[in-house]
């Protein structure tokens, strides 16, 4: 049995999906599926992950039986000025019942369309006259019935508080958690002898013995020799202390009924023995981090107990609170590797975004602005088959991808190298805007952008720009530049840029506008830039790249000297002038510039790298010029050149704050 889904209405940060704030069947603010094993909710502070954990905790209760209550602050309000809603609701759905577990819930269970057991449990709380009333019910129908208290106990979760206090949890005391954990182990169950009398537990016998000794110690002023314990004759005992206590007591009581004070390690019944135990690592003063690990291990002891009936769900909040990053990674990796064997379900929350990179997408739930987004198969727009490849591809970049404000998804090195420079020049440096640029290396792999889409509708609340080429290739027919014929749907024809553009949009664009495709105007980025105002710059870059590429083909890997560069630039200027003199139009010039890139005599990556440098150099000149002319600056150039426009638009798209509301509702 595991928690398969939770729906939340009007709880803390979580409202309703339609902003109506009236609770309806179909408008939960969060409708979140969990997988049966490991679920890690990652979100920045205040993103709503604690609300999710607390919602689960309030409806299911915890093994340590903290008292659950609601107060008015648990009720959602849209803004600070708004009044709070009067009702909230939390609904859980359980699946994966064994026959035995189904037996426990026969009165409340139902079957889904697939004929599998399901149990629906919900809590509704409402405010009335400054009090909060709530009730918990179960059943498939709208009204449901109360869940019997003992049956509810079977749904309790093991809850690990934000781990701030592992030391006290593991220390002796009346409310010792350690004692609770131990008590549930069969070796601490009551044993009876034949005559139905309770048998003394081994620990009880031990403590009894120890207590006797302690008592003895406090009865004697001076101890006798005891070889076994290495005690010398005449060692002072605690007798004086207990006498003193007795004297005081006699003053408080009537003399004849004064009870004798007794010093003890603990009561000698098993319960108090267990309560007086402490669990610690052997070196004395353990760091909080290792204590926390110890504590988690102790809790897992309980959860994994063979005898544990009911839900095996561990809620671990703020894993990072006192675990240093390496320890977190180890815990997460350990859980991820053994999740299937553990037979338990884990729901963890953390704001440590770096953890994301260690997690399989199947285990990952992202949390933004009171919304949760499981990234597992079936929840996103990405095809199941693509998952494995994407995982491998992303590996350590997952957190870049999912915790950026915006993502530029590019198909090749050239864009990867050039875009940051362009962004810098137009005054929107990517790092300042929290934008990640991800190079998937191939146009075909741009479909990974679908990981940002949700299965039903909507997207993650992240702006994504897919930057690609239109790829309508050209050829020269007796000096006339023409589009190559392309086979499309059985017919060969010259592709229309508009139609191609539309096609890309239908593939990539999301309804809510968060994901948008930006494509070059005709062929490739380099070609199209070469047909615009940057043609001279790109030509220079191509000439330099030709040089470097040529060397590397011969096995010489070196950078050109600045003299060589100047020479190449001069050559480029010369050649360019010649084309103009020959009356070449911009189309022809672009074709000529692109030739070396097309026939691979110049590397695109190197070209892009040099183009970026040339543009930046020029931009720096602009900035230092004493009388900058607005119309002549590189910034102006980039902003007005129609061939650069798609790149500038892409940058603008990912650096403009996204609209929260659209993000969640598609």
Partner 1 sequence: MQVTDNDIERLEQIFFGGNGSFEDEKGERYEFLKCFDKSLDVQACPGSGKTTTLLAKLYLLSEKMPFEDGSGVCVLTHTNVGIDEIKKRLGPKADRLFQYPNFFGTIQSFVDRFLVIPFYIQRNDKRPNFIDIDMARNALLSTFVPEMSKDHRNDVLWFLRSHEKIQRSLVFRKNEDGSFALYKGISEKLVEIKKPRNRAKEYRDWTETEKKRIYTDLETIKKYVLKERGILSYDDAFMYAQQYFELYPQIKKAFCKRFSYVFIDEMQDTYFHQDKIIKELFGEDVIIQRIGDLNQAIMNDNNSESAWTTDNPMKITGSRRVSQPIANILRTVALEGDPELTGWDGCEIPAYIIPYSTEKEPDVLERFVELIKKHELDNVNEYERPIKAVGWVGTEKTTLTIGQYFVGFDKGGNKKRLRLTNLKTALSTIDVSKPNEFHNAIISVIIEVLSLSGIKNPLSKDGIRSYHKSSFVSFLKADHSDLWFEFNTKVAGWVKSQSDKNLAEIFPEIENYLKDSFFPTLDFKLNDKGVNFISDKNIDLGIQEKSNSENIFQSGTECLDHIKVEVNNVHSVKGETHTATLYLETSYQSKTCGEYLIDQLCGSPYAPKKKDTYKKQCLKIAHVGMSRPTHLLCVALNENLVNDNRENLEKNGWCFYPPLEQGH
Nearer to partner 1, 181 or 408 (CB): 181
Nearer to partner 1, 126 or 551 (CB): 126
**CA dist., res. 642 & res. 649, Å (int):** 11
Q: Quote the tokens at residue 35.
A: 């997988």
CB of 10 to partner 1, least distance (A): 14
Nearer to partner 1, 158 or 371 (CB): 158
The CA-atom distances, in angstroms, between 131 and each of 85, 124, 534 are: 14, 14, 69
Nearer to partner 1, 152 or 428 (CB): 152
**CA dist., res. 101 & res. 536, Å (int):** 74
CB of 51 to partner 1, least distance (A): 24
CB of 311 to partner 1, least distance (A): 12
- Which residues sit opposite 231 in a β-bridge? 226
Pairing of strands 87-95, 158-160: unpaired
The DSSP code for 534 is T
Nearer to partner 1, 134 or 452 (CB): 134
Half-sphere exposure of 650 (CA within 13 A, CB side): 32
Nearer to partner 1, 26 or 233 (CB): 26
Q: Are 415 and 526 in contact (CB under 8 A)?
A: no
CB of 62 to partner 1, least distance (A): 19
Nearer to partner 1, 117 or 518 (CB): 117
DSSP string of 203-228? HHHHHHHHHHHHHHHHH-SBPPPBTT
CB of 186 to partner 1, least distance (A): 8
CB of 128 to partner 1, least distance (A): 7
Nearest one of 453, 429, 433 to 514, comparing CA atoms: 453
CB of 161 to partner 1, least distance (A): 27
For 489, counting Cβ atoms within 10 Å of its Cβ (0-12 exposed, 13-18 middle, 19+ buried), the class is: exposed
The CA-atom distances, in angstroms, between 453 and each of 278, 342, 381, 448, 509 are: 49, 32, 5, 10, 10
Nearer to partner 1, 309 or 496 (CB): 309
Nearest one of 193, 134, 155 to 61, comparing CA atoms: 155
Nearer to partner 1, 49 or 89 (CB): 89
Nearer to partner 1, 25 or 187 (CB): 25
SS3 365: strand
Nearer to partner 1, 141 or 657 (CB): 141
- Which residues sit opposite 487 in a β-bridge? 492
CA angle 82, 88, 93 (to 5 degrees): 145
Name the site residues for partner 1 (rule: CB under 8 A): 25, 97-100, 102-104, 106-107, 109-111, 115, 117, 126, 128, 139-143, 145, 148-151, 154, 186, 194-196, 307, 309-310
CB of 30 to partner 1, least distance (A): 21
Nearer to partner 1, 94 or 373 (CB): 94
CB of 101 to partner 1, least distance (A): 8
Nearest one of 56, 26, 62, 64 to 39, comparing CA atoms: 56
Nearest one of 652, 658, 40, 77 to 345, comparing CA atoms: 40
CB of 1 to partner 1, least distance (A): 12
Instruction: Find all residues with CB under 8 Å of 335, minimum gap 6, and list them.
Output: 38, 342, 346, 348
The DSSP code for 81 is T
Nearer to partner 1, 116 or 505 (CB): 116
Nearer to partner 1, 112 or 168 (CB): 112
CB of 189 to partner 1, least distance (A): 9
User: b/e string for 103-138 if b means 16 or more Cβ within 10 A?
Assistant: ebbeebbeeeeeeebbbbbbbbbbbeeeebebebbb
Neighbours of 191 (CB within 10 A): 10
Summarize the chain as % helix, strand, coil (round to 5). 45, 20, 40
Q: Quote the tokens at residue 322.
A: 């006192």
CA angle 320, 322, 326 (to 5 degrees): 60
CB of 191 to partner 1, least distance (A): 13
CB of 112 to partner 1, least distance (A): 10
Nearer to partner 1, 24 or 232 (CB): 24
CB of 655 to partner 1, least distance (A): 46
Q: Are 94 and 4 in contact (CB under 8 A)?
A: yes
The CA-atom distances, in angstroms, between 22 and each of 7, 76, 308 are: 14, 11, 39
Chain centroid, CA 132 distance in Å: 33
CB of 144 to partner 1, least distance (A): 9
Q: Are 153 and 310 in contact (CB under 8 A)?
A: yes
């Amino acid at each position: 049995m595991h928690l398969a889904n939770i729906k939340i209405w009007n709880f803390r940060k979580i409202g309703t999906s339609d902003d109506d704030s009236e609770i309806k069947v179909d408008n939960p603010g969060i409708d979140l599926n969990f997988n049966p094993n490991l679920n890690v909710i990652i979100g920045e502070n205040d993103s709503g992950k604690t609300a999710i954990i607390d919602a689960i905790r309030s409806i299911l209760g915890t093994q340590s039986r903290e008292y659950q209550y609601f107060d008015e602050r648990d009720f959602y309000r849209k803004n600070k000025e708004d009044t709070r809603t009067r009702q909230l609701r939390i609904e859980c759905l359980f699946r994966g019942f064994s026959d035995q577990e189904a037996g426990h819930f026969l009165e409340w269970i139902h079957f889904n369309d697939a004929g599998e057991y399901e149990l629906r449990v919900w809590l509704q709380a409402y405010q009335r006259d400054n009090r909060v009333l709530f009730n918990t019910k179960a059943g498939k129908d709208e009204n449901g019935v109360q869940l019997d208290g003992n049956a509810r106990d079977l749904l309790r979760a093991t809850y690990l508080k934000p781990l701030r206090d592992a030391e006290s949890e593991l220390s002796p005391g009346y409310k010792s958690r350690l004692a609770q954990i131990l008590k549930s182990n069969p070796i601490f169950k009551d044993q009876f002898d034949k005559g139905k009398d309770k048998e003394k537990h081994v620990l009880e016998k031990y403590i009894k013995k120890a207590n006797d000794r302690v008592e003895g110690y406090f009865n004697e002023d001076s101890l006798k020799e005891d070889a076994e314990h290495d005690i010398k004759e005449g060692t002072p005992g605690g007798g004086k202390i207990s006498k003193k206590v007795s004297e005081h007591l006699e003053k408080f009581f009537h003399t004849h009924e004064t009870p004798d004070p007794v010093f003890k390690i603990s009561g000698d019944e098993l319960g108090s023995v267990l309560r007086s135990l402490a669990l610690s690592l052997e070196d004395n003063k353990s760091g909080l981090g290792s204590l926390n690990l110890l504590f988690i291990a102790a809790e897992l002891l309980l959860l994994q107990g063979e005898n544990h009936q009911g839900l095996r769900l561990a809620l671990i909040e703020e894993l990072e609170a006192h675990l240093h990053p390496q320890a977190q990674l180890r815990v997460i990796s350990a859980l991820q590797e053994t999740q299937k064997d553990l037979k338990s379900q884990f729901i963890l929350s953390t704001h440590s975004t770096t953890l994301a990179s260690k997690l399989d997408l199947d285990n990952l739930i992202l949390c933004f602005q009171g919304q949760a987004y499981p990234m597992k198969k079936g929840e996103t727009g990405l095809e199941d088959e693509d998952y494995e490849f994407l995982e491998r591809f992303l590996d350590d970049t997952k957190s870049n991808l999912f915790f950026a404000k915006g993502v530029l998804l590019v198909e090749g090195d050239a864009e990867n190298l050039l875009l940051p420079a362009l962004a810098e020049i137009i005054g929107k440096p990517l790092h300042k805007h929290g934008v990640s640029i991800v190079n998937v290396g191939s146009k075909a792999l741009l479909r990974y952008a679908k990981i940002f889409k949700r299965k039903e509708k909507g997207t993650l609340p992240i702006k994504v720009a897919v930057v690609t080429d239109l790829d309508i290739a050209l050829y020269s027919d007796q000096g006339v530049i023409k589009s190559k014929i392309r086979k499309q749907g059985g017919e060969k024809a010259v592709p229309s840029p508009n139609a191609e553009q539309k096609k890309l949009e239908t593939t990539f664009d999301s309804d809510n506008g968060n994901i948008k495709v930006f494509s070059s105007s005709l062929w490739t980025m380099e070609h199209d830039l070469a047909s615009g105002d940057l043609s001279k710059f790109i030509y220079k870059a191509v000439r330099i790249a030709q040089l470097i590429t040529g060397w590397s083909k011969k096995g010489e890997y070196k950078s050109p000297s600045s003299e060589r560069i100047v020479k190449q630039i001069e050559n480029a200027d010369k050649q360019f002038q010649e084309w103009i003199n020959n009356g070449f139009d911009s189309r022809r010039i672009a074709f000529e510039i692109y030739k070396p890139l097309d026939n691979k005599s110049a590397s695109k990556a190197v070209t892009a790298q040099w183009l970026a440098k040339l543009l930046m150099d020029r931009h720096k000149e602009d900035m230092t010029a004493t009388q900058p002319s607005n119309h002549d600056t590189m910034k102006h150039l980039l902003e007005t050149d129609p061939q650069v426009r798609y790149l500038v638009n892409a940058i603008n798209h990912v650096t403009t704050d996204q609209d929260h509301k659209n993000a969640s509702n598609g």
